[in-house]
Amino acid sequence: PGDRDVTIYEVGPRDGLQNEKGIVPVAAKAEFITRLVAAGLPIVEATSFVHPKWVPQLADAAELIELLGPDGRKHPVLVPNERGLDRALELGCEHLAIFGSATETFARKNLNSSLDEQFAMFEPTVARARAAGMDVRAYISMCFGDPWEGAVPVDQVVAVGKRLFDLGASQLSLGDTIGVGTTGQVGALLDAFNAAGLPDDVLAVHFHDTYGQALANAYAAWQHGIRTFDASAGGLGGCPYAESATGNLATEDLVWMFRGLGVETGVDLDALVATSTWMAGVLGKPSVSRVVTALAGS
Ligand code: HMG
Ligand code: MG
């Protein structure tokens, strides 16, 4: 870890598997996470403690954390409210991630709240988590566009993001939930956050690849100074409450790019490709990652 130049925050088990039609057996989820850790991914978000009716794919969250043993507690878990926090605290989880929306419509669809109401949910959640010694990451969705509202004003994204961060988060992950953003927008949004007092070292980027822009956007963010990148093994993922969204940036594609740049990720690409190939077998469909496709056969 000391010799890592960038940090890849792996979201495949959570953002990936939450969007699969079928429910992956809990033992396979545990194996997936264990293999990702073994492949050198420094952070692997494991699951979410949301309402199981909203995301049945991750209803087995508690069982999964227990199955992972003592190390299970070290994986970040996604939580929307105090009920989710209680479930995470019961298991001794140490890292929490909350997720807010930059737009009114998505706040309603994803959290059954208004843009303002979401903070009433997050405030006590983060306060209690911090008091319990937990580290909290905050995601912000729809930073580059929203399927219902269209373009999202940069000022609005920054205002919501800053408010989320100021609740007591250690990092803010900027989400292109539906993958519409392009490189120019990435620079402009990062500049706006910097100007609002959030430097690149407290920011992360979270790109979905719907329009094939995710890797280019990650490169733009890296050139800007971002050093934490969310990605999903094999390009798994999407968002169940944003229908046009497809998978996240594939972790393999990101690792391949950084390897070419001589930027150390600490990830063993062969072990990662083998893991995604195995998960593709579990899911019964090939990985969408170009790098997995290219390397799996070689
Ligand atoms: P609600 O229906 O308004 O909830 O949903 P409520 O507070 O009115 O409670 C209703 C019932 O749900 C109660 O039970 C609660 O206890 C229970 P009852 O008293 O009726 O028996 N409940 C819960 N049960 C288990 N775990 C919980 C929980 N909370 C309440 N945490 C709620 C509001 C926020 C719960 C709901 O909207 C929800 O679960 N949303 C989650 C949606 C989601 O997971 N979306 C995907 C993740 S976000 C994402 O993918 C984007 C990201 O990747 C970044 C990007 O790409 O942009 C992060
Ligand atoms: Mg996402």
Predicted ipTM of the assembly: 0.98
Tell me, what's the pLDDT at 238? 60
Q: Look at the block and give the residue holding tokens 């920054």.
A: 158
Tell me, what's the pLDDT at 245? 67
Ligand 1 center to 226 CA (angstroms): 30
Catalytic member of 43, 126, 178, 239: 239
State the distance between the two ends of the chain, measured CA to CA, in whole angstroms: 29
Q: What DSSP character marks residue 274?
A: H
Ligand 1 lined by 9 (C-beta under 6 Å): no
- Residue ID of nearest Cα to ligand 1 atom 10: 51
pTM of the model: 0.97
Q: What letters, b where the CB count within 10 A reaches 16 and e where it falls short, cover 13-36?
A: bbbbbbbbeeebebeebbbbbbbb
Q: Are 86 and 125 in contact (CB under 8 A)?
A: no
Sign, CA dihedral 85-102-174-45, equals positive
- Residue ID of nearest Cα to ligand 1 atom 16: 83
Q: Which ranges constitute the DSSP H helices of the chain?
A: 26-38, 61-67, 82-90, 104-111, 117-131, 154-165, 183-195, 214-224, 251-261, 269-283, 290-296
How many beta carbons lie within 10 A of that of residue 290, not counting itself?
A: 14
Q: Look at the block and give the residue holding tokens 């800053």.
A: 162
pLDDT, one tens digit for every residue, the chain (298 residues)? 458 999 999 999 999 999 888 889 999 999 999 999 999 999 999 999 999 999 999 999 999 999 999 999 999 999 999 999 999 999 999 999 999 999 999 999 999 999 999 999 999 999 999 999 999 999 999 999 999 999 999 999 999 999 999 999 999 999 999 999 999 999 999 999 999 999 999 999 999 999 999 999 999 999 999 999 999 999 998 656 666 667 999 999 999 999 999 999 999 999 999 999 999 999 998 999 999 999 997 6
Non-local (6+) Cβ contacts of 141 within 8 A are 99, 100, 101, 102, 103, 106, 110, 175, 177, 239, 242
Q: Are 38 and 3 in contact (CB under 8 A)?
A: no
Sheet (strand 47-48) strand order: 43-44, 7-10, 228-231, 203-207, 171-176, 135-141, 95-101, 77-78, 47-48
Which run of H or E residues covers position 229? Answer: strand 228-231
Ligand 1 lined by 86 (C-beta under 6 Å): no
Tell me, what's the pLDDT at 239? 57
Ligand 2 center to 204 CA (angstroms): 12
Tell me, what's the pLDDT at 240? 61
Tell me, what's the pLDDT at 21? 84
Known active-site residue 143: no
- Residue ID of nearest Cα to ligand 1 atom 22: 51
CA 245 to ligand 1: nearest atom: 56
Ligand 1 lined by 239 (C-beta under 6 Å): yes
Tell me, what's the pLDDT at 210? 92
- Residue ID of nearest Cα to ligand 1 atom 45: 110
Ligand 1 lined by 19 (C-beta under 6 Å): no
Ligand 1 lined by 117 (C-beta under 6 Å): no
Ligand 1 lined by 189 (C-beta under 6 Å): no
- From 158, 179, 183, 296, select the one nearest 243 (Cα to Cα): 179
Distance between CA atoms of 24 and 10, rounded to whole angstroms?
A: 18
- φ, ψ of residue 235 in degrees (nearest 5): 75, 20
Q: Are 121 and 108 in contact (CB under 8 A)?
A: no
Non-local (6+) Cβ contacts of 293 within 8 A are 286, 287
- Residue ID of nearest Cα to ligand 1 atom 34: 111
C-alpha distances in Å from residue 271, one per residue of 51, 69, 93 = 33, 22, 27
